[in-house]
Structure 1
Amino acid sequence: MRRWLTRWFPVRSLDHVGAGAYGLIGATVISADSIASTIAPTHAAAIRWTLLYEHSQVGSSRGGGGRDSTLHPFASGWRGESIVLRAACGRTIGVALGDARLRAPIDPADGTPLGTSPASSATYGALVSRAPAGSGTVFVREHGIQAGQTVRLHAWLEPVGSTGGYRDAASPTTVQFRATDVTLEDDLRD
């Protein structure tokens, strides 16, 4: 199937993907939870972080004239370079996280002030200079992708050639497909 056509009609299973196709695959994270959160006592296979600044503005005169405060993102990225997923058919997918997008239910007012933990200050402190001049408090938001969690993967999927080693073939985490142009969806309620 042509690449543009699979974008409109993504495959839902890896069973018959030979040369590459866009896929919409439900999969389970099988990478180990080896990355520690800087703001909570948890670990994850990968963490999507976002730095936000607080912007306060005076409310409208009709609304009582109070101050309204909102959080605006100014920097984001991943902690962790890649994760491995297992599709329902048993095949594994390697996902490089560098340019990956994450769709997840996030409360727009959610954020932890950056200075509340030494780990968050050490990890993200150098990025604070990217906040706009005159911005208020800087906050951090972390969203972990954990082992055993089910996610929906939107990506271009290509089979990975065998390495020829018998040990690789026997490993339960051997990557059989490579994903590019990735969007991970963490909200599977619909």
Structure 2
Amino acid sequence: MTPERDSRLRGLYFITPAVSAGADPRATHLENSRAALRGGARLIQFRDKTLPNDAREAIARELVALAHAHGALCIINDDTELAARVEADGVHLGRDDPDPVAARARLGPCAVVGVSCYNELKRAEAAVRAGANYVAFGTMFASPTKPEAAYAGPELIRRARAALDLPICGIGGIAADNAAEVVAAGADLVAVIQGISAAPDPEAAARQISELFD
């Protein structure tokens, strides 16, 4: 059974960027997230695949507190156990991660479980049957984060919107200058990484995208 549609799953969804060589991981994740939240982000996803477990957990705890202080949600990428330990709002799962049923069993009925569906509508339909709260399609545009990613495009958002009754997220190459096309196609969420973190003014970029949902 699909969980009841969560009205909080709408707006700008900021995903923390990869940490540059020599940069402070804590500052990278927290400062970019703070700017995104000040600009109106409704969800933050902590994504880091390189830090030791104790450092990841410490930063995740700070991000949960930061997001909640702004009335937003904090989602953990891939790691259901980390999400449980830091009492995050949920987890985002990719192709090689635990399935939504297992994540739901670990995190409880109130957790947000999101699933990457790439350019595959059938994968999204299966995720809905497994109890996902939202599904994400991408890449919408050429993505500097994942240049090898399969193309989905806003047209797939339109098809998914007609077929699915749960929040839909577009991801991949989205920035302030093209997010409107994804929102117009029917996306409830737009997930952004470098479109905010690499912007000259990250808070202003976040605000420009957030205002598309007003």
Instruction: Pick the TM interval, shorter chain.
Output: under 0.3
Normalising by structure 2, report the TM-score: 0.20
Higher relative contact order (CA 8 A, sep 6+): 1
Query: Which has more radius of gyration?
Result: 1
**Per residue, is there more helix in 1 or in 2?**
2
Counting strand residues as a fraction of each chain, which structure ranks higher? 1
